[in-house]
Amino acid sequence: MIDELWYKNAVIYSLDLETFMDANGDGVGDFEGLIRRLDYLQFLGVDTLWLAPFQPTPNRDNGYDISDYYGVDPRHGTSGDFVEFMHQAHKRGLRVLIDLVINHTSDRHPWFQDSRARNSAKRDWYVWADRRPADLDEGMVFPGVQKSTWSYDRKARAYYFHRFFAFQPDLNIENPEVRAELRRVMGFWLQLGIGGFRLDAVPFALETVDPARGPGPLRFDYLTELRRFLQWRSGDAVLLGEANVTPEEVLPYFGGDGGDGMHMMFNFYVNQHLFLALATGQVDTLVEALRATREIPAEAQWVNFLRNHDELDLGRLEDAERETVFRRFGAEERMRLYGRGIRRRLAPMLGDRRHEELAYSVLFALPGTPVLRYGDELGMGDDLSLRERDAVRTPMQWADEPQGGFSAAERLVLPVVGEGVWSYRHINVAAQRRDPSSLLNWVGGMIRLRKECPEIGRGDWVVLETGDPHVLALRYDWRGNSVITVHNFARTPCEIELDPAVPRGERLSNLREEQELAADRDGRHRIALDALDYRWYRVGGLDYAVRTPRPFTSSRAAGAAGSSAPRTRRARRRSRSR
């Protein structure tokens, strides 16, 4: 048993080393800078870090074009710096997950360079075709930007397959030598103390490709192979998979009923329907999405998120639903990407503090493990002048100092947001740590509250009927304890009555305020909710719960119904306009 399934009650923080903190002043984030900010992450309350690729790379795709699986890119430091980072993280009780990119390498990787020779021992490490494949212009991951999935290599005198960009040739996972080498890669990083891997683009890593017939069936046995190796080397490590698939396709990724595949998977399906609910105020399709993704193996876990390092992918929504979300959160064409997504940060999309609080409260209340994207705890904005996904990958805003306190360099890997209401001058860690009513301190309080409710990560859950199409109510039960969360997605107040899943007459203790909700004389529970309101209750008394430490002030209590940006006249106008 994995340390009592630690990942079920974890809170994950996603960061890109490149844009988190620069210690040596060259404009690029590094491990020394991350080490200096570990105390901040400990203060925030997260317990697991997920690092984007930091290995040597030409860096044409945010580091996902790896040219050496066994090292650290010189821009980020040395292998010694990584070991020191792991030491410091473990001292603070932080686990570390790293990306494992097994679908493709950089075209500059020595493996690919060797494979270009027809008599090379590594020729079959990649997927080659002597003749022009018929599906050359089909199945692109980045439509409108990516031109094909096969490219001709003059030296090899053949076409090579690449599900992503042409500079990212796909590895041939069917080759046992490739599998053996990737196991060595896993073993290398496990030996250095990491807590597991986030597997990138899992469906594409599992597909078999025939130049004559195109992509074939997925080889889910490979996930079982990876998990067995992982648990043999480190019984406490986990696999977190990225697979944007339908609910009907999910179970094999978790390893079927036996559960010997991924430990965790991102719940893209619920994420997309959550944003539909945030756009419309209606929760019916979100409830359907939750129920559709309910049946997974006992040891498996969903990972829930609001935003990540890519676009907000809406590809699983119906066309009309996608257009609804586009109109609300991506009204301008420059805000959209690949025809299916929105390239914006959370705060600019939602537009006001109350909506942000609701979204985060829902995130922490969903069945599964929550993950936060760096900077979203501050309400950071985006830079739509940058290309494609770079709009949401700007440097962390630490202080009202040059370059937002991220770096002393004049030129950065990406520019910091320096203008408007989302500027580092208004939104930064230093200012929000001093403000008890800031979004940062509010998020920290919610993280502590989530950790006090292990029922959400580990327990059985049910959607409670409320009689209101705008309200989502969930009940969790685990080891004799019960938690109920209630969220009003509408911009108008309402009153609901909880269904009989709450025993008649049982008192509900508010976990965020010093009050209890008593049943009426008929033993029923009625809850009055403001617009975009949320409540967390424990069924019965507070003998089990530990009262959440202060500061834990909501925007309502602080009287800050506007944006997470400073409440300037301009910011209030922007909030109302959205």
> Which of the residues are catalytic?
200, 242
B/e letters for 490-506, b = 16+ CB within 10 Å, e = fewer, are beeebebebbeebeeee
The distance from CA 122 to its chain's CA centroid, rounded to whole angstroms, is 35
Q: What element of type H or E holds 36?
A: helix 31-36
Which residue, 268, 187, 189, 276, is CA-closest to 233? Answer: 187
Q: Enter the tokens of residue 544.
A: 């089990």
C-alpha span between 441 and 553 (Å, rounded): 8
Secondary structure class of 293 (helix, strand, coil): coil
C-alpha span between 468 and 287 (Å, rounded): 13
CB 149 within 8 A of CB 138: yes
C-alpha span between 472 and 113 (Å, rounded): 54
Backbone angles phi, psi at 43, to 5 degrees: -60, -40
Q: What is the DSSP string of 492-513?
A: S-EEEE--TTSPTT--EEESSS
Secondary structure class of 561 (helix, strand, coil): coil
Report CA-CA distances (Å) from 436 to 162, 237, 500: 50, 36, 38
CB 166 within 8 A of CB 60: no
- A 10 A CB-CB count for 483 gives 25
CB 295 within 8 A of CB 304: no
Amino acid at 153: D
